[in-house]
């Protein structure tokens, strides 16, 4: 039989836990609402794109609905979801991707990008550098380690 004293202190502990979690829930709910309102405010100057990174070993990670500024390049967008190492080559007016999330290019493997052609329903190779290609709203792009 649980003693009245133990029960009293257990009740106090549960009360503290319940009050604290309620307060924390309120805090996170307000912060969430803040971000929702902020994203609504910026809707006119932002867009959502979908990025997938195929590491070439069967691992394929999707970053759906990534919020980027209007006119963002593929490189800008990729940098928002992954750790990107790149080297600029001013003579070619291009940037070369050295690594994404710690996976570096080698003599035999490198990072290649594609975009989804929704009319043809297939992936199409990127024709320009990632720093030049400007994304369109709701566009889907893929980085592939090939």
Partner 1 sequence: MPSLNARQIALLSVLTAVSLGIQLAPRPPNVEFTSLFAFIVGVLYGSLVGGFFGGFVMFVNGFLSPWGFAGFIMPFQIVGMATVGFAGGIYKRYVVGINPAKVCAEVAVLGAFLTLLYDIITNVGVAVPPALSGVSWHISLILAFSMGALFSLVHIISNIALFGSGFILLIKALQRVPGGETLWSEKELLHSQR
- List contacts with partner 1 (CB under 8 A): 5, 9, 12-13, 15-16, 19-20, 23-24, 26-27, 29-30
* Nearer CB in complex with partner 1: 16/61: 16
What letter does residue 110 receive in the DSSP assignment? -
Within 10 angstroms of residue 144's Cβ, the number of other Cβ atoms is: 17
* Nearer CB in complex with partner 1: 21/138: 21
* Nearer CB in complex with partner 1: 33/39: 33
Q: How far is the CB of 86 from partner 1 (least distance, A)?
A: 37
Cα–Cα distance measured from residue 37 to residue 18, given in angstroms and rounded to the nearest whole number: 28
Q: How far is the CB of 1 from partner 1 (least distance, A)?
A: 17
Q: Are 53 and 100 in contact (CB under 8 A)?
A: yes
Q: Is 139 helix (H, G, I), strand (E, B) or coil?
A: coil
* Nearer CB in complex with partner 1: 32/104: 32
Q: Are 126 and 116 in contact (CB under 8 A)?
A: no
Q: How far is the CB of 4 from partner 1 (least distance, A)?
A: 11
């Amino acid at each position: 039989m649980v003693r009245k004293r133990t029960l009293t202190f257990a009740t106090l502990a549960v009360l503290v836990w319940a009050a604290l979690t309620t307060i924390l829930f309120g805090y996170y709910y307000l912060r969430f609402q803040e971000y929702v309102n902020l994203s609504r405010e910026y809707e006119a100057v932002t867009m959502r794109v979908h990025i997938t990174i195929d590491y070439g070993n069967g691992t394929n990670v999707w970053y759906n609905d990534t919020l980027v500024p209007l006119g963002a390049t593929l490189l800008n967008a990729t940098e928002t979801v992954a750790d990107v190492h790149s080297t600029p080559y001013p003579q070619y007016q291009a940037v070369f991707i050295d690594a994404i999330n710690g996976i570096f290019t080698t003599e035999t493997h490198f990072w290649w990008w594609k975009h989804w052609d929704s009319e043809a329903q297939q992936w199409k190779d990127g024709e320009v550098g990632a720093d030049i290609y400007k994304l369109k709203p709701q566009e889907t792009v893929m980085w592939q380690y090939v």
